[in-house]
Amino acid sequence: MTGAEIALILALLELFMKYGVPAGMEIYNQWSGEHPEPTLADIEALKLRVLKPETYFEDKS
Amino acid sequence: MRQKRIFIVLIALVFMVGCANVNVEKKASYITTAYQTLSTAATVYETGLKALADLYGKGIINDEDKAKALKYGNQFWTVCHTSVNALSIYKQYETPDNQNRLDKALDALTEALSTFNEFIYPLLEKGLEK
């Protein structure tokens, strides 16, 4: 295994741990088991959750 | 390279498998399934944009990439909110017309998410290479 491959694997692990695992777990939880039918408030809450894309870049300039 | 691709398509695969399975044995209600689909799409969108914003903060992607991220992100945001509205109306008035509107909104959502994902994957790959 070359140094570049090791670096790539480490970068992959870093990114996976940062984004892949939480997102994967969240999606798994959304589909696994039984879920009660969402209420109107649950549905409306999705609007507050899905933010405009600009929001994510606000503190990154 | 193959490992990277595996990671990059992971979320999309989970999304597609999740939508395809749709709690087959438990026969979840149409409303529940639509809500789960929307919620999963929101997770993919949030995760993708958080990753891109981090890459932008580190200087790995440029202003042009950011502008495109905003463009595709806004397209998704619009159809996502349209879908949430359609689901909200269907939840209150379960009519065939409202179900038809919700179906169309969810189709548009899937298409917008697919376009968004196609755009972000190469940028995430760029991030992995740095």
pLDDT of residue A11: 52
**pLDDT classification of B126: cutoffs 50, 70, 90:** confident
A46 closest CB neighbour out of B50, B84, B124: B84
- Mean pLDDT, chain B, as a whole number? 82
DSSP collapsed to 3 states, chain A: CCHHHHHHHHHHHHHHHHHHHHHHHHHHHHHCCCCCCCCHHHHHHHHHHCCCHHHHHCCCC
Side-chain-side CA neighbours of B69 within 13 Å: the count stands at 29
pLDDT of residue A61: 64
B35 closest CB neighbour out of A23, A26, A43: A43
**pLDDT classification of B95: cutoffs 50, 70, 90:** very high
pLDDT digit string, tens, across residues B75-84: 999 999 999 9
pLDDT of residue A40: 96
Predicted TM-score (pTM) of the model is 0.76
User: First and final CA of chain A: distance in angstroms?
Assistant: 37
With beta carbons less than 8 A apart as the criterion, state whether B109 and B38 touch. Answer: yes
* Mutation site, B14, B115, B125, interface A, largest A CB count within 10 A: B14
Q: Which of A20, A25, A19, A21 is nearest to A56 (CA)?
A: A19
With beta carbons less than 8 A apart as the criterion, state whether A50 and B45 touch. Answer: yes
Give contacts of B46 with chain A, Cβ < 8 Å.
23, 49-51, 56
Give contacts of A12 with chain B, Cβ < 8 Å.
3-4, 7, 128
> ipTM of this complex > 0.95?
no
pLDDT of residue A35: 80
**pLDDT classification of B106: cutoffs 50, 70, 90:** very high
Report whether pLDDT(B23) > 50. Answer: no
Question: Can you tell me which residue has the tokens 């969108």?
Answer: B45
B49 closest CB neighbour out of A36, A40, A53: A53
* Rounded Cα–Cα distance for residues B73 and B75 (Å): 5
With beta carbons less than 8 A apart as the criterion, state whether B84 and A44 touch. Answer: yes
pLDDT of residue B56: 93
Query: Closest chain A residue to B38 measured between Cα atoms?
Result: A46
In this prediction, what percent of chain B has a pLDDT beyond 90?
Answer: 48
Tally helices (H) and strands (E) across chain B.
Answer: 4, 0
pLDDT digit string, tens, across residues A12-61: 555 556 666 677 777 777 777 778 899 999 999 999 999 999 999 998 76
